[in-house]
Chains A and B, each alone.
Chain A
Amino acid sequence: MARSLRWRLQIWHAAILVLAIAGFSGVLFLQFQRSLLREIDAELLAGARALEGTLKLAPRFILEAGFPDGPLDRPLGRGGAGRGPGPGGARGQVERSGGESPTGERSGGERGAGDRDSEPGESRKANSPGPSFGPGGVERAGRPGGPGRPRPLTPEQWMELLTLPRELPVGRDFGPPPGTPGGRLGEARRPPARPFPSQPSYYSVFAANGSLLKSELASGQEPIPFVRPRNPVEYRNRDYRRELVLKGPDNSVVIVGQDVRPQFDQIQWLGTRLLAIGLGVLALGLFGGWWLAGRAIRPLEQISETARGIEASKLAERFNVESADAELRELGQTLNSMLARLEAGFEQQNRFAADASHELRTPLAVLLSHTELALARQRSPDEYQAALQTILRSGERMKGLVEDLLVLARVNSGRLDLRRERTDLRQLAEESAQLLRPLADAAGVELRVVGESVFAEIDSSRMGQSLVNLIANAIKYNRPQGSVSVEVEQTADAVVLRVSDTGVGIPVESLPHLFEPFYRVDADRSRETGGSGLGLAISRRLVNAHGGEITVHSERGVGSRFEIRLPAVNELEGKSNLAVDD
């Protein structure tokens, strides 16, 4: 399970799923809650605005300190002489009983279709400047359909007026513009109304000092405690009740509330449902995810099953990609091509090892058979000497082969360190030719070196080895009285060593394999010309190690031309390199 892909996928999947479900449910839940409460909030605001409008008709001292003790028999002029007699909350107590009768009435009220756009409060506000207590005394507010000259209101009338409206206008464009004299609540221009409130409401109105002005509560309901709102309008939830606290004129406070237990129940019901459905979806998602992850991983398991069976000796096996999906097919194909490369590499290695051992077998056979023969019986000193010489020859041949193999292995593995020096290639060609002159003379082949002095940054012994290989081949595969020429040439971007012969040439089909180890143009090679079969392979690798390349052109019966092309050395650069090396 540690770092199991399936488990990690599962965990991520679970996390994403939980986030998605929680986010979705949360949004749904909040949206539902908001849509439910918005209607109620609108109603509360409308009611509060209505109360506020009525409050504005009252003189300031009442709003600040409540009704004074004593009878309300005199007109209460706003800004009049009696300004804020003592605080008194007794009136509020009396009014509480009045809340009972409207409760019954209102509960029968139909819950109107939510008209969210209506802003009843504004209409109230717009109308509020109309009827007022007025400076001359209490005026009577215009009753619906009751036009006429405004009269001052008595406190009782005012108290009666200070209540929630029975119905609300519907529609946005209602109410006359402010200041219009005829613009009163309940005029003909008013749009059709709907019953208000849609469900039982209660309210309390407080003076600024906290004394209760009026309160209509549901039966058995605790009195609403006084609060001083910080904002003009505040909504709050209290004991399954939605309440609005409004800052009225002169710091009076209006609190309107509705019992929202049904809505809360609905919200709770939704919440429970969402939780249950969410958990169900989560479980389903997790199960599905687990199953999907397993399904996605199964081909991987198949691949690993196949891979487990693949060993160095069984590289021919391949992954079955026919039935796989696109991504896995790609993986399978990638692995297959890797296997193919490995197989080719191993094949090459095996062939190389087989060839190398094969090359070693013949001299070893000579060595062993001559030793065995010499030891089989008593021999003359001459016979022993001949046997030992043969054995020595075989040993030397094996030694040469082993050295070639070592060089090849070293170049192949990149462990060959070249001791580069500025070398005259012409001189190198002369020396190499000198070394092979006896061979050329024996074969009756003319050997000559052509060209000016050309300098290159090379390891002279390694490059000499390559050159000797090429010249020796040119002599060996030449015709009698043929010739071999070694040319040294400087071109714009390279220095060239060219070994041309007048020999038998190389068949076209052999050219691509010419530089492979142990490759022989004539598979049944003849002893007198056959070397280890590594010469050209070594030459090419040595030249490549110098950053150069070796190419061959050949024509049957005309001859072959091998070219070593080395990067030209910039004179200055070469010197600076030398300086660094020193």
Chain B
Amino acid sequence: MRVLVIEDEPDLRRAIVQSLLESGYAVDEAATGPDGLFKATSWDYDAIVLDLMLPGLSGFDLLQQLRRERATPVLILSARDGVDDRIKGLDLGADDYLIKPFSIRELLARLRALIRRAAGQAKSTIEIGEISVNLVNQTVNRAGELVPLTAREYSLVELLALHRGKLISRTLIYDHIFGEDDSSLSNLVDVHVSNIRKKLGAEFIQTRRGQGYIVDG
């Protein structure tokens, strides 16, 4: 999953990015409004964490312009706790609103929920055959047994599971799993897929040659 963090306070941005990375997200960051808008409109993020007070372009304006092009789930992060601000933010197309100071865990939970809902998945556990993906704990079980996965492997399983039955292109996998800073090699996805197949069974991920991968097809 790939998330964009638009926050001008460097210390806070660092904390958010760090915790997202540690949760297995691919993270991009922006410190100003225009930069944030540029990134948000040029990539198809799974979610965007958006601060309202931004230099150059306010969070509200950014949101308004973003909504003309994309329906990316947006979580507003703001020190403004007024009801009017919250209403305005939600009405402009935000999907959630979190007030500073906030708990990192809550931020992560809300982001998970956003991503899940955006994929049309209401529950936090996805069952595919004998494989069960727990989106909260970020764990995968096979026939009741916990299967140890790396963060990257889990992210890939989650991405495919959330979009079960849909063909996921390699480019999309790159876009969602790897951040802008990852100097990824072209066969990195193949390596991850092969590792996952060893752990969850070869038939879990099917390859559509030249197109991409699909789960539960």
Q: Which A positions have Cβ atoms within 8 angstroms of B?
A: 354, 357-359, 361-362, 364-370, 372-373, 376-377, 390, 393-394, 522-527
Q: A358-B80, A362-B9, A364-B100 are in contact. Are A523 and B16 (CB under 8 A)?
A: no
Q: In the complex, A190 Cα to B103 Cα: how many Å?
A: 129
Closest chain A residue to B32 by CB distance? A526
Task: Give bound CA distance, A523 to B54, whole Å.
Answer: 9
A524-B100 contact, Cβ under 8 Å, with A366-B15, A393-B11: no
- Give B1-25 as 1s and 0s: 1 = Cβ < 8 Å from A's Cβ atoms: 0000000111110111011001000
**A-B pairs, 6 with minimum CB distance:** A361-B79, A365-B100, A369-B15, A365-B101, A526-B55, A364-B101
Q: Give B contacts to A, CB under 8 Å.
A: 8-12, 14-16, 18-19, 22, 33, 53-58, 79-82, 99-105
Q: What residues of chain A lie closer than 8 Å to B33, measured between beta carbons?
A: 524
Instruction: Name the one of B14, B57, B58, B79 contacting A362, with C-beta atoms under 8 angstroms.
Output: B79
Residues of chain B lying within 8 A (CB to CB) of residue A526: 8, 55
Q: Are A394 and B100 in contact (CB under 8 A)?
A: no
Q: Which listed residue, A367, A373, A524, touches B53 by the CB 8 Å rule?
A: A524
Cα–Cα, bound, A368→B11 (Å):
11
| Cβ–Cβ < 8 Å partners of B82 in chain A | 354
Contact B105 A390 (CB under 8 A): no
A395 to chain B, nearest CB (A): 11
Cross-interface CB contact of B101 among A361, A376, A523, cutoff 8 Å: A361
**11 CB-based A-B contacts, threshold 8 Å:** A361-B99, A364-B100, A365-B9, A369-B12, A372-B15, A372-B103, A373-B18, A376-B104, A390-B11, A524-B57, A527-B10
The reply to whether A369 and B55 contact each other, CB–CB distance below 8 Å, is no
CB distance from B80 to the nearest CB of A (A): 6
Pairwise interchain contact A524-B55, C-beta atoms closer than 8 A: yes
Given contacts A372-B103, A376-B104, contact A362 B12 (CB under 8 A): yes
Residue from B12, B22, B56, B105 within 8 A of A365 (CB atoms) = B12
- Would you call A366 and B55 a contact (CB within 8 A)? no
Nearest-Cβ distance from residue A346 to partner chain B, whole angstroms:
16
- Which residues from chain B contact A367 at a C-beta distance below 8 Å? 101
Contact call B103/A366, Cβ cutoff below 8 A: no
For B103, the chain A residues whose CB sits under 8 A away are 368, 372
A362 contacts across to B, CB distance below 8 A: 9, 12, 79, 100
- State how many angstroms separate the Cβ of A475 from the closest Cβ of chain B: 19
> A365 CB to closest chain B CB, in angstroms?
4
**A370 near B11: Cβ-Cβ < 8 Å:** yes
CB distance from A401 to the nearest CB of B (A): 12
Majority secondary structure of chain A interface residues (helix, strand, loop or mixed): helix
Docked Cα-Cα span, A449 to B75, in Å, equals 49
Report which of A369, A370, A377 forms a contact with B22, defined as CB distance below 8 A. A377
Which residue on chain B has the smallest CB distance to residue A394?
Answer: B11
Min distance, Cβ A92 to any Cβ of chain B, angstroms: 116
- Asked whether, in the complex, the Cβ of B10 is within 8 Å of the Cβ of A523, the reply is no
- Rounded to whole angstroms, the CA-CA distance of A370 and B54 in the bound complex is 21
* Contact (A365, B79) CB under 8 Å given A370-B15, A372-B104, A390-B11: yes
**What are the residues of chain A within 8 A of B99 when measuring CB–CB?**
361
Residues of A within 8 A of B56 (CB): 524
* Cα distance, A524 to B79, chains bound together (Å): 13
User: How far is it, in angstroms, between the C-alpha of A373 and the C-alpha of B104 when the chains are bound?
Assistant: 7
| A394 to B82 alpha-carbon distance, docked (Å) | 23
Q: How far is the CB of A369 from chain B (nearest CB, A)?
A: 4
Closest to B99 in A: A361
Contact B101 A524 (CB under 8 A): no
Which chain B positions have C-beta within 8 A of A522?
Answer: 55
**Nearest Cβ distance between residue A405 and chain B, in whole angstroms?**
16
- Once the chains bind, are A527 and B55 in contact (CB under 8 Å)? yes
A511 to B80 alpha-carbon distance, docked (Å): 25
Contacting pair B55 A368 (CB below 8 A): no
A372 contacts which of B10, B11, B14, B105 (Cβ < 8 Å)? B105
Given contacts A362-B12, A373-B18, A390-B11, A525 and B100 within 8 Å (CB-CB): no
Q: How far is the CB of A527 from chain B (nearest CB, A)?
A: 5
Residues of A close to B53: CB separation below 8 A? 523-525
Q: How far is the CA of A525 from the CA of B54 in the complex (A)?
A: 7
Determine which residue in A358, A361, A362, A527 has the highest number of CB atoms from chain B within 10 A of its CB, and name it: A362
Residues of A within 8 A of B12 (CB): 362, 365-366, 369
CA distance A376 to B23 in the complex (A): 11
For the complex formed, measure the closest distance between the CB of A400 and the CB atoms of chain B, giving whole angstroms: 15
Q: Is the CB of B16 within 8 A of A369?
A: yes
Q: Is the CB of A523 within 8 A of B58?
A: yes
Shortest CB-to-CB span from B11 to chain A, Å, is: 4
Q: What's the nearest-Cβ distance from chain A to residue B24, in Å?
A: 13
Of the listed residues A362, A369, A390, A527, the one surrounded by the most CB atoms of chain B closer than 10 A to its CB is: A369
Give the docked Cα–Cα distance between A121 and B79 (Å). Answer: 112
| Further 18 A-B residue pairs, CB within 8 A, beyond A365-B101, A526-B8 | A354-B81, A358-B79, A358-B80, A365-B100, A366-B11, A366-B15, A368-B103, A369-B15, A369-B104, A372-B19, A372-B104, A373-B15, A373-B104, A377-B22, A524-B56, A524-B58, A525-B53, A527-B55
A373 in complex: contacting residue of B19, B55, B80, CB < 8 Å:
B19
By a CB distance below 8 angstroms, the chain A residues around B100 are 361-362, 364-365
| Alpha-carbon distance between A507 and B104 when the two chains are bound, in angstroms | 39
Q: Give B80's nearest chain A residue, CB to CB.
A: A358
